[in-house]
Amino acid sequence: MAQPSNLYDSIDNANSIKEDIQDIIYNISPDESPFLSSCKKTTAKSTLHEWSTDTLRSSASNAHIEGDDSVATAITGVTRLNNRTQIFKDAIAISDTDEGLSKIAKAKEMSYQILKAGKSMKLDIEKALFDNNAKVAGSSSAARELAGAPTWLTSNTVKGSGGADANGTGSNARTDGTQTVFTQAKFDTVMQSVWENGGTGSKTAYLSAFNMTKCLGFAGNNNQRANVVGSDERVINSISIYLTPWGEISLRPTRENRSRDVFLMQNDTWQVATLRPMKNVELAKTGDNTKRQLTTELTLVCTSEAANGMVADCTTS
């Protein structure tokens, strides 16, 4: 079949047809920051934020003769730790002409871009908290940087050949080792070590999607995670809680941690200390445009590294 002669169709009339555009903007980019969200929030009052930690003495045989004199027990002083605050910033410039235009699915371009920048900055912060990055004091020519979680963990770690823990003060990064497959045995080893070193609180494991799939193969005496529900024909293959003799731990896949690291975190031992809360300010006008800036300054606090652990140097594919 063919069109009749001189038929005037929609192709001929293209210049007269109104645009058909949905009045909504779709954005599937993830903006979850689970570790940042789980950390207790506190306040920093200096760019060098300090805190103190202490431990009990080791248990010992404690039996004494009736009426004997007492000898003082040796006392160990507290340990003082610190971390540097890091400035997170995002600036946006919009031409005044563009700000005045009628937009699809936007009232004002600046408001829309500020909202996007705020979500992006949360991801930047989450990444910094997970990074194997030593603290940097900063100077007039170098930015201050906070020490990320891997630099604090020393007591309960499983690592690959050649890998080495940092010194636990945030002043140096850990040394990456040869990558090996993440296994249930490694996970259990860290869980047991955490318990033996005093970890007792609510715990969350943060791990990449690839290593989360390894957890689906964990064995247990009620290993029934993969099954078919006949009534609605669903296939279920999921694990969110792992219960061991050393406690219960939630499993949380994350996107901003290094894929080679699996963290076992006791939630109440991590804090985010904020020196400057996130603020949206207008910058000086320098031309036919408008500038605004989002800024926050904060650092990471580890109050008890022995209550946490990690399986380092895991394969990622």
Which range, 51-65, 151-165, 233-247, has the best average confidence (pLDDT)?
A: 151-165
Read off the tokens for 3: 């069109």
- Are 99 and 108 in contact, with CB atoms under 8 Å apart? yes
**14 lies in a domain?**
no
What is the tens place of the pLDDT at every residue in 250-269? 999 999 999 999 999 999 99
**228 lies in a domain?**
yes
What is the tens place of the pLDDT at every residue in 44-79? 999 999 999 988 888 889 999 999 999 888 888 899
Supply the mean pLDDT for the chain.
89
> Which structural domain range is residue 291 located in?
34-51+79-311
* Whether residue 31 has pLDDT greater than 50: yes
What SS3 class is residue 297?
A: strand
pLDDT at 102: 81
**305 lies in a domain?**
yes
Q: What is the mean pLDDT of residues 140-169?
A: 97
Using a cut of 0.85, tell me whether the model's pTM lies above it: yes
Look-up of token digits 């340990």: 79
**130 lies in a domain?**
yes
pLDDT at 181: 97
Lowest mean pLDDT among 73-77, 158-162, 273-277: 73-77
d(CA 135, CA 120): 22
d(CA 98, CA 96): 5
d(CA 58, CA 197): 11
| DSSP letter string, 2-57 | -PPTT---TTTTGGGSPP---S----------HHHHHSEEEE--SSEEEEEE--PP
What is the tens place of the pLDDT at every residue in 83-119? 999 999 999 999 989 888 887 777 788 888 999 999 9
pLDDT at 269: 96
* Whether residue 303 has pLDDT greater than 70: yes
**107 lies in a domain?**
yes
Read off the tokens for 95: 């031409």
Quote the number of domains for the chain. Answer: 1
**229 lies in a domain?**
yes
**17 lies in a domain?**
no
Instruction: Return the H-helix or E-strand segment holding 114.
Output: helix 109-130
pLDDT at 224: 47
d(CA 194, CA 200): 8
pLDDT at 231: 61
The larger pLDDT score, comparing residue 16 to residue 235, is at 16
pLDDT at 221: 56
* Whether residue 225 has pLDDT greater than 60: no
**67 lies in a domain?**
no
